[in-house]
Amino acid sequence: MSSTPSRPAPRTDIAAIRREQIVDAATAVIVEQGLPSLSLSKIEDKANMSRGQLTYYFPTREDILLAVFDRMIERMHERSVEKGMPPPPCITGREDMWTHLRMFLGVLIGRPPLSPEFHALHYSFLSQIGHRDDFRGRLVSLYEGWRKHLAGDMAKAGVSRPRGAEGASDRVMASFVQAIIHGVILQLDADPEAFDRGEMLELVLAVLAPWFQVEGDARG
């Protein structure tokens, strides 16, 4: 009677583990000390690695920042769920989308930032897009992913166009929503006391409510 040969144990991906450790260490430095304090030496200390080990996996500080950027986006999504932001629904009409959008904006505008360290990294990338195509590419991918998803939901919901802009595409409508949110968040990042969050939330909802033909109270 022949026995079935045992399968070899899966090989441990040491490189993936080391990269994960480096990204975790860099993220910890940013969270604890701020982005300006991030240096290769501090990452080495936090990860308990030599400079040679560090640069073998990530040749430059900028390479580490790109990996941290991706990690922070993942964690920001996780935090949004923890803070009560609902998962994207199956959009079947305007009511579905309006309900989700109100809750999304309530978390994003009505409360302190979910990930202030990500915002700092985001602005750092923006400041260098003139000479860092990789930084620009990350931001383009981030914005386009959100824009494409939002535009798709708007198409499914059949949102109304404002008077005078009846021919606006779903993409342009989505970009406008992005512009509102980015502008509000930028002001709050610079000055958390710039305006009352609740009042701003009501104003943004009032501007967007006619798109969904919501009568009366913009908060639904």
138-149 per-position pLDDT tens digit? 999 999 999 999
What is the distance between the alpha carbons of residues 93 and 181, in angstroms, rounded to a whole number?
23
For the chain, give every domain's residue range.
13-59, 69-212
- Structure tokens given for 101: 């959008």
pLDDT > 50? residue 64:
yes
What is the distance between the alpha carbons of residues 147 and 179, in angstroms, rounded to a whole number?
11
The tens digit of pLDDT for each residue in 73-120 reads: 887 777 666 655 555 556 678 888 898 888 888 888 887 776 777 888
Please give the residue that has the higher pLDDT: either 8 or 45.
45
SS3 (DSSP) at 160: coil
Task: Please report, for residues 72, 119, 170, 172, the alpha-carbon distance to residue 142 in angstroms, rounded to integers and kept in the order given.
Answer: 12, 13, 18, 16
SS3 (DSSP) at 90: coil
pLDDT reported for residue 217: 46
Comparing C-alpha atoms, which of 9, 135, 18, 1 is closest to residue 65? Answer: 135
pLDDT reported for residue 80: 63
Determine whether domain 13-59 maps to CATH 1.10.10.60. Answer: yes
CATH topology of domain 69-212: Tetracycline Repressor; domain 2 (1.10.357)
pLDDT reported for residue 220: 45
Mean pLDDT of the chain: 84
CA-angle at 85, arms to 81 and 90, nearest 5°: 100
The number of angstroms, rounded, from the C-alpha of 84 to the middle of its chain's C-alpha atoms is 16
Q: Mutual orientation of helices 94-110 and 170-190 as an angle, nearest 10°?
A: 20
Task: Please report, for residues 53, 156, 178, the alpha-carbon distance to residue 169 in angstroms, rounded to integers and kept in the order given.
Answer: 50, 13, 14
Considering just the CA atoms, what is the radius of gyration of the chain in Å? 22
Comparing C-alpha atoms, which of 62, 57, 31, 67 is closest to residue 46? Answer: 31
pLDDT > 60? residue 12:
yes
